[in-house]
Amino acid sequence: DIQMTQSPSSLSASVGDRVTITCRASQSISTYLNWYQQKPGKAPNLLIYTASSLQSGVPSRFSGSGSGTDFTLTISSLQPEDFATYYCQQSYNTPLYSFGQGTKLEIK
């Protein structure tokens, strides 16, 4: 199984800050990495697929990068609606699409 490890597990930041969340895979997954945002009581929302492709309708302040084992999700300027939990998911090992443990982004 491919293990996905996110860091940090939680993060406090202010509106307007630039934030980076990291996801590391236990083996190379090429660029088969998705990012989701989940707000309390809601289903996850796809932000980024294949590491760097922005899902239609997602604000351009979100971006993804990386390949192999190391990936990042960057929010260029935090907005109030961005405070949520973020999950990475590998889609390399079809159909065992494991998630990272999540990163909770909180208001400072």
Partner 1 sequence: EVQLVQSGAEVKKPGESLKISCKGSGYTFTSYWIGWVRQMPGNGLEWMGIIYPGDSNARYSPSFEGQVTISADRSISTAYLQWSSLKASDTAIYYCARARDSSGYWHLSFYYWGQGTLVTVSS
Interaction mask 37-56, partner 1, x per CB under 8 A: -x----xxxx--xx----x-
Per CB under 8 A, does 99 bind partner 1? yes
Classify residue 76 by its DSSP letter.
S
**What number of chain residues touch partner 1 (CB under 8 A)?**
26
Instruction: Provide the minimum distance between the beta carbon of 92 and partner 1 in the complex, in angstroms, as a whole number.
Output: 7
CA distances for 20 relative to 41, 92, 96, angstroms: 24, 23, 26
| Whether residue 59 has a cis bond before it, omega within 30° of 0 | no
Residue 13 or 97: the one with the smaller Cβ distance to partner 1 is 97
For partner 1, the binding residues in 53-82 under the rule CB under 8 A are 55
Instruction: Return residues touching partner 1 (CB under 8 A).
Output: 1, 32, 34, 36, 38, 43-46, 49-50, 55, 85, 87, 89, 91-92, 94-102
